[in-house]
Chain A
């Protein structure tokens, strides 16, 4: 380090270390993971989440509301129906809001309880769970599956494999069908399915989404979390020493070893871990939780359930593997003491922001206008002289009805002395425009200023304001700004 820099480039010394070099492949063949099925308190929670999320996903498109599908995103007409709401593409801000809420929700829950999203709610986990259940039903438990895969192609193997893939494909395609059902009325789609009368895009998306489900949940599984998922990586970055993560209590468990039931641990010099390997067998990402926190761990808690069942058999207290904080394990904190550490600045700030944004979201959604107005100056000349020297400007006004009833809107204009509407939609002295349910309509609006007023305000662009009110509710006024041009 202290040597003077020579004119030549600095040479980094490469020092060989001990051992014999060996050629290896840098592309690793993936070892298939055979997770053992697991029962217990957390498994029940996981299944409850599977039911909840999937009832919502598969069920929602079949729900009707006000004589139409309750949740329908119509891409051709660009109207997004969510129960009573009719959203326009201009309402994109609400989607942004939803994404910000989701992000802060993720931050908040991750800071408190680690990768809760990954373990319980992520579609990748949920569909893998469903597909594993199918696999277990058809091919049997972990050992049976390994034997089946290693064995020759017998008629038994052929049928089991065929049956498994058929069921997987069916679930996948049903998922794809449901997905498309959010964008095309699902009842019509269902009728079309029987005559195979899908349009080209419907065919594509049903199959694409269906096969993606089949591939992701059937084959890629933990590979998605390990190599593709960006959330997996940044969630780990939000852990701290007071985050409740799935942990193995090393101090209590080690040294590990087999022993007879009821054997005296003190004389054997062993910890509580009997080294049965069950926590490794149930792990869907193929890690050993006893090695500590690893980036592959999706916090599915299968190892907790597996270990608790073993502890019960051994008549040891539960919780050798449990939700615990790194501080808690290091300082031997009690459960209550660990929970007290949950309320730390990071969690409070995430929580406060989450609540604030959620409240703002709900309030703004409730206060939103049931119609929108867009003012575009006409593409013709900026201004023209009409009649006895009056100045006229033309505007194209788009009125967007976000209700499912026909509406009448009343237009007015302000901002320059003596400014008045000359015609609306080609009709002189009119100020009302009718718009059909959930439709948008363009009308041409001419606005005039008297010659005296024009001289008074002088040439140039003057800010004006259009005021549009719903005829049945004069209190709801939308104000849109534009300019009025007086020529030189």
Chain B
């Protein structure tokens, strides 16, 4: 046990606990009998001139309740942890109980998930029960970043549209959930050139999606786009194998407009999707991936 700096504390607490129990019994015994006056049933003491203490005995069964609590405590301390760091004969721990309950829950849901895991994602998307499970898994694991409606926000991709960084097939989604992803845009301003050059490239990037831009600057920036093309491709359509975004559509994960693009080229960005392979079972991930896939592929009413 790492709860104590020294094992002496454990012995100290165990001793205090046992002494406390013994003291309870001792108190019950010494308080059992009392000298009272034979004629008026008082203890014979007089305080403040006329205050006298009447002997008003406790029912004996009530005393047995005290004894029972002491016996209960002794049994409890023998089988459960309580005496210092002694584990008790049952070796019970809250972590162990949690694991047991989790294992039980997994065993109960295993047949259900086994059936779901054997079904392809496209079929699951039409299964209301599977989608309800998926929705709950999503709410508990994904919604914190991607939002309850999966539309994401700045820095957190929208999962309900058809634009995918790493691929939108159920298999790719599964891979993303299981292993996580790490998207990295290096700061490439130095390679592009001067601040003016960076601004020109940004305008060229805006022109790819037909967004409002300065067309002269865009023309000038075109040549410098070669630095970007290494990852985003010569046509700027990105590469799902590397997770590089498509610059020709209207999805702007890290902000839209010249300033946002300039900031991206200058500072770069590392964006992480954490791995969930440890938190969720492969069957759960299968159902969850089918749910995420259904958001952009199956009719949304399937979930209802």
Contact = CB atoms under 8 A, between A and B. Distances in A.
Nearest to B59: A30
Contact of B154 (A22, A27, A384, A425): A384
B63 interface: yes
B38 A20 contact: yes
A250 interface: no
B295 to A, nearest CB: 8
Interface stretch (A10-18, A120-128, A351-359): A10-18
B139 to A, nearest CB: 8
| Interface bin, chain A | 35 or more
Nearest to B256: A385
Contact of A21 (B38, B47, B146, B147): B38
Contact of A17 (B44, B139, B303): B44
A25 B31 CA distance: 9
Nearest to B149: A444
Interface in B287-304: 295, 300-301, 303-304
A16 B44 contact: yes
Interface string B26-39: 00000111111111
Contact of B60 (A15, A29, A427, A442): A29
B151 interface: yes
**B interface secondary structure, majority:** mixed
Contacts of B45: 14, 16
A26 B46 contact: no
Contact of A380 (B35, B47, B61, B143): B143
Contacts of A459: none
Contact of A227 (B42, B55, B62, B147): B62
B57 A26 contact: yes
Interface in A155-212: none
Interface string B43-68: 01111100010010111111100000
Contacts of B139: 442
A394 B36 contact: no
Contacts of B295: 426
A394 B63 contact: no
A378 interface: yes
Contact of A423 (B37, B149, B303): B149
Given A21-B35, A25-B32, A15 B154 contact: no
Interface residues of B, number: 45
Contacts of B32: 25-27
A304 interface: no
Nearest to A384: B153
A426 B37 CA distance: 84
A315 interface: no
B150 to A, nearest CB: 8
Contacts of B46: 14-17
Contacts of B55: 24, 26
A384 B144 CA distance: 14
A223 interface: yes
Interface in A361-396: 378-381, 383-386, 392, 394, 396
Interface string A384-423: 1110000010101000000000000000000000000001
Contacts of A427: 300-301
B57 A27 contact: yes
A385 B44 contact: no
B1 to A, nearest CB: 33
B300 A394 contact: no
Interface in A462-477: none
A25 B147 contact: no
B144 A17 contact: no
A264 interface: no
A437 to B, nearest CB: 16
Report which residue of A18, A381, A446 has the largest number of chain B beta carbons within 10 angstroms of its beta carbon.
A381
Nearest to B51: A12
A14 B37 contact: no
Given A26-B55, A380-B156, A384-B154, A19 B39 contact: yes
Contacts of B256: 385
A378 B156 CA distance: 15
Contacts of B147: 378, 380-381, 384, 394, 444
B38 A22 contact: yes
A434 B160 CA distance: 23
A24 B36 contact: yes
Nearest to A426: B300
Given A21-B38, A29-B60, A381-B154, 20 more contacts: A12-B47, A12-B48, A17-B40, A17-B44, A18-B39, A19-B44, A27-B60, A28-B58, A30-B59, A227-B59, A378-B149, A380-B146, A380-B147, A381-B156, A384-B152, A384-B154, A385-B153, A426-B295, A427-B301, A442-B139
Interface of A: 12, 14-30, 223, 227, 378-381, 383-386, 392, 394, 396, 423, 425-427, 434, 442, 444, 446
22 contacts: A12-B47, A16-B46, A19-B40, A21-B36, A21-B37, A22-B37, A23-B34, A23-B35, A24-B33, A27-B58, A28-B60, A223-B59, A223-B61, A380-B144, A380-B146, A380-B147, A380-B156, A381-B153, A383-B153, A384-B154, A385-B154, A425-B304
A-B interface, 7 closest residue pairs, ranked by CB to CB distance from nearest: A384-B153, A28-B57, A380-B147, A444-B148, A19-B37, A19-B39, A21-B35
